[in-house]
Amino acid sequence: MFRIIFGAMLLFSSVRFIMKGWVETQYIEPQFFFGYLGFEWIKPLQGNLMYIPFVLMAIAALFIMLGFFYRISTFVFFVCFTYIELIDKSNYLNHYYFLSLMSFLMMLVPAHRDFSIDAKLFPSIRRKETAAWHIGILKFQLAVVYIFAGLAKINADWLFEAQPLRTWLQAHHNIPYVGGILKAEITAYFFSWMGCLYDLFIVFFLLNKRTRPLAYLAVIFFHIVTWLLFPIGVFPWVMIFSTTIFFSAQFHQQLLNGLKRVFKWSENIPETIKNMPTPNPFVKYGIILYITFQILVPIRFLAYPGHLFWNEEGFRFSWRVMLMHKEGHATFYVTDKASGRTIEVNNTDYLTIRQEDQMMTQPDMILQFAKMLKKEYDGKTFSNKEQSITLHDPAVHAEVFVALNGRNSQLFIDKKHDLTALPYNLKHRDWIEPFEK
């Protein structure tokens, strides 16, 4: 059942991305892409060829839903989806990362052994039972998302300033009937505290048979309200449907039996293959390694000094959903070291509006953009009425101001730094100006 639900979500998401024109705006139109550290070699396909991985994802998602060449289909979807996400970090969203992880897990889980085309074509794969870890690892992944999202909300801005919800809810003041309620300060505090409690404890209520029905109603209510108020795409629906994995085997079996009656599915399984195969001894170590990774990655921010939301060191891949509102303004200057002549850069000559908006508040992207500008301007000749000058090994400086969670704008990066001389790595970036509360 989870295979069918998950495949349907992937199919909808893939087709929606194409139909919205986002392949064009996010992967064909941009001139420059912000690659992830160590994965800068991953580049988009040229022009309309970029549609190929999206079409492959849609086909693979359909096949996952139907259980047709399931192992190959999950592999194709995982590779294509992860490839697309690694092209440009300005497109990073928590639910994209979540789908990438879940598609990886589904690649390992044999979710095609019943009610699938594969089971029709290859009866020897059919089983009445599955290993506990097949379902447990999916529950674990969802639990990681919820619990770490809840832990991340235990911070002063979220709980004691109701930020950024207070800022965002103000934008809905003109909604008929409820606009006045949404702009009230107490509403922002209510949503902040309830959101924190929900994320922290919903998994435990879903695991309990007695509280599960009410907990799932809370899941539906929470995510639909989120979907109505904030532009976060299909993430609420992904979570609503994925959370069904917490329901009992009997619940899913009833749904499956209904589908089997509609499609006249045969229940006959050869006597010789009823028992589960012996588990691979490496499975246990693989699960331990995966669980360890999923726990360590979200807490890696503890290795860095300073304010997490300001520096964003260890921020990505840590399930910090909707926790900050940042606005930035960045002016870049390319300077010829020999003459001292400086040229002010128009960011939109190289970046889309979305890319510029993301870049202006994220230090690693600011550094990447600066290094790109060095390559772009190195060797170029500029002329005016008085003289012409050719830039050789230019320096790139930036003056960046950022406003975090409703505060006044503060200096983020001082113009004194030649960004091209700074290393791009995982170490703490001491060239970022300290956060002033």
Q: Tell me the pLDDT tens digit for each residue of 120-163.
A: 899 888 888 888 899 999 999 999 999 999 999 999 999 999 99
- Whether residue 210 is found in the same domain as residue 164: yes
Amino acid, single-letter form, for residue 413: I
Place of tokens 């960011």: 347
Sequence-separated (6 or more) residues with CB below 8 Å from residue 120: none
Q: Which amino acid is at 262?
A: V
Same domain as 159, residue 28: yes
Tell me, yes or no, whether 215 lies in a domain: yes
Residue 269 falls inside a structural domain:
yes
Residue with token string 């589904």:
106
42 and 143 part of one domain: yes
Same domain, 399 and 351: yes
Range of the domain at 95: 1-301
- For the chain, the 3-state helix, strand and coil shares in percent, each to the nearest 5, are 55, 10, 35
Residues 264 and 379: their CA atoms lie apart, in Å, by 71
**Is pLDDT at 282 greater than 60 in this prediction?**
yes
Question: Is 409 within a domain?
Answer: yes
The reply to whether 270 and 359 lie within a common domain is: no
Burial label for 14, CB within 10 Å (0-12, 13-18, 19+), is buried
Classify residue 310: in a domain, yes or no.
Answer: no
* pTM (predicted TM-score): 0.91
**What whole-number distance in Å separates Cα of residue 180 and Cα of residue 172?**
9
Indicate if 385 and 289 belong to the same structural domain: no
Total of domains in the chain: 2
pLDDT on residue 436: 87
The residue ranking higher by pLDDT, 340 or 28, is 28
**Alpha-carbon span 275 to 319, nearest angstrom:** 39
Q: State whether 107 and 181 are in the same domain.
A: yes
Instruction: Tell me, yes or no, whether 71 lies in a domain.
Output: yes
- Statement to judge: residues 272 and 332 lie in one domain: no
155 and 281 belong to one structural domain: yes
* Of the candidates 325, 307, 357, 328, the residue with the CA atom closest to the CA atom of residue 167: 325
Per the model's pLDDT, the better-predicted residue between 266 and 240 turns out to be 240
Is 198 a domain residue? Answer: yes
User: Residue 381 carries which DSSP code?
Assistant: E
Provide the token pair at 5: 């639900």
Co-location of 292 and 329 in the same domain: no
pLDDT of residue 135: 94
> Is the domain of 289 the same as that of 341?
no
User: Residue 425 in 3-state DSSP?
Assistant: coil
The whole-angstrom separation of Cα 192 and Cα 208 is 25
